[in-house]
Amino acid sequence: MNPTPILEVADIHVYYGNIHALKGVSLTINKGEIVTLIGANGAGKTTTLNAISGLVPTREGQVRLRGEALSGVASHLIVGRGIVQVPEGRRMFARLTVEENLRMGGYTLTRAADVQAGIDRAFEMFPRLKERRTQVAGTLSGGEQQMLAIGRALMAGPEVLLLDEPSMGLAPVLVDFVFDTISRLHAEGTTILLVEQNARMALQIADRGYVIETGMIVLSDLAANLRENDTVRKAYLGIV
Amino acid sequence: MTVTSAGMPATGAAPSANGAAPAMPVSFQRRVIRTGLLGAVIALYLCMVGIVPIFNARPLVQGVISLGQAALILSLFATGFVATRRVAESSGRLIADGAIAGGLSGVALSALVLLGSVVDVRAFLPNASPVLYGILTFNLGTIGFWIPMAAGAVLGGLAGAIGLASPRMRRSLFVGLISLFALGLFAGLIRTPMLQLPVAELARLLFASDGLTLIGAVVVLVASVGLHHVQRTRRLDLQFAALPPSRRRRIQVPLIALAAVMILVLPQGLGSFFAQVIAIVALYVMMGLGLNITLGLAGLLDLGFVAFFAVGAYTVGLLTSTAEFGIAQWPFWAAVPVAVIVAMVFGAFLGLPILSIRGDYLAIATMGFGEIIRILAGSDLLKPILGGPRGIINIPKPIEVPPDSFLAGPNQIYYIALIGAALIAFVAWRLRGSRLGRAWIAIREDEDVAEAIGINLIQTKILAYMLGAAFAGLGGAVFAALVGSIFASSIQLMVSINVASLIIVGGMGSIPGVIVGAIFLIGLPELFREFSEYRFLFYGIALIAMMQLRPEGLLPSKIVRREFQHGGGDEPPESSASPLAL
Does the residue B251 lie in any domain? no
Residue B489 lies in a domain: yes
Q: B191 and B123 share a domain?
A: no
Whether residue B205 sits in one domain with residue B154: no
Does residue B576 belong to the interface with chain A, where contact is any CB pair within 8 Å?
Answer: no
For residue B75, give every residue at least 6 positions away whose Cβ sits within 8 Å of its Cβ, in sequence order, or none: B39, B42, B43, B46, B105
Whether B158 and B281 share a structural domain: no
pLDDT reported for residue B444: 92
Residues B43 and B177 in one domain: no
Does residue B458 sit within a domain?
A: yes
Task: Give the residue from chain A lying closest to B434, CA to CA.
Answer: A107
Which of these three, B114, B140, B164, is where a domain ends? B164
pLDDT 10s digit of each residue in chain B, 582 long?
333 333 334 433 344 444 444 444 556 678 888 999 999 999 999 888 888 888 888 888 888 888 888 889 999 998 988 888 766 667 788 888 889 999 999 999 999 888 888 888 887 788 888 888 888 888 888 888 899 999 999 999 988 888 777 888 888 888 898 899 888 888 888 888 888 788 888 888 888 888 888 888 999 999 998 888 888 888 777 888 888 888 888 888 889 999 888 888 887 777 778 888 888 999 999 999 999 999 989 999 999 999 999 999 999 999 999 888 888 889 999 999 999 999 999 999 999 998 888 888 998 999 999 999 999 998 888 888 888 888 898 888 888 888 777 777 778 888 898 899 999 999 989 998 899 999 999 999 999 899 989 999 999 999 999 999 999 999 999 999 988 999 988 888 999 999 999 998 998 889 999 999 999 999 888 888 878 888 888 888 888 988 888 888 888 888 888 877 654 444 333 333 333 333
Cβ-based neighbours of B468, under 8 Å, separated by 6 or more: B290, B291, B292, B293, B294, B295, B302, B305, B308, B347
Q: Which residues of chain A have pLDDT under 70?
A: 1-2, 240
Distance from CA of A33 to the nearest CA of B (A): 22
Looking at the structure, tell me whether residues B195 and B86 fall in a common domain. no
Segment 422-441 of chain B within 8 Å of chain A by CB? 435, 438-439, 441
CA–CA separation, A32 and B230 (whole Å): 67
Please answer yes or no on whether B452 and A84 come within 8 Å at the CB atom.
yes
B575 interfaces chain A, CB cutoff of 8 Å: no
CATH number at residue B364: 1.10.3470
Give yes or no: residues B211 and B300 share one domain.
no
Do residue B187 and residue B150 come from a single domain? Answer: no
Residue B201: inside a domain, yes or no?
yes
> How many C-beta neighbours within 10 Å does residue B563 have?
19
Structural domain containing residue B188: 167-242
Number of domains in chain B: 3
Distances in Å between the alpha carbon of B357 and those of B348, B354, B360, B479? 15, 5, 9, 31
Q: Based on the fold, state whether residues B199 and B127 are members of the same structural domain.
A: no
Residues of chain B contacting A157 with CB distance shorter than 8 Å? none
Q: B564 and chain A: CB distance < 8 Å anywhere?
A: no
Residue B148 lies in a domain: yes
Q: Distance between CA atoms of B347 and B361, rounded to whole angstroms?
A: 18
Contact across the interface for A53 and B452, Cβ inside 8 Å: yes
pLDDT of residue B5: 39
CA–CA separation, B372 vs B346, rounded Å? 12
CA atoms of B478 and B453, how far apart (whole Å): 40
User: Which residues between 76 and 105 in chain A have a beta carbon less than 8 angstroms from any beta carbon of chain B?
Assistant: 76-80, 84-85, 87, 91, 93-97, 103-105
Q: Do B506 and B471 share a structural domain?
A: yes
- Which ipTM was obtained for this model? 0.89
- Do B156 and B190 belong to one domain? no
Is there a single domain that holds both residue B59 and residue B94?
yes
Q: In what order do the strands lie in the sheet containing A83-86?
A: A83-86, A160-164, A191-196, A34-39, A208-213, A216-222
Among B439, B451, B563, select the one facing A95 at the smallest CB separation.
B563
Dist. CA B30–CA B28, nearest whole Å: 5
Any B CB within 8 A of A158 CB: no
DSSP code for B353: G
Contact B559 A96 (CB under 8 A): yes
Residue B107 falls within a domain, yes or no?
yes
pLDDT at B7: 38
Residues of A in contact with B559 (CB under 8 A): 95-96
Q: What is the pLDDT of residue B565?
A: 67
Q: Is the domain of B160 the same as that of B172?
A: no
Residue at which a domain ends, from B137, B164, B191: B164
Say if B400 falls within a structural domain. Answer: yes
pLDDT number for residue B93: 84
Task: Please give, rounded to a whole number of angstroms, the shortest distance from the CA of A234 to a CA of chain B.
Answer: 31
Give contacts of B 439-478 with A, CB under 8 A: 439, 441-442, 445-446, 448-449, 451-457
Is B7 within the bounds of a domain? Answer: no
Boundary of a domain, candidates B164, B196, B228? B164
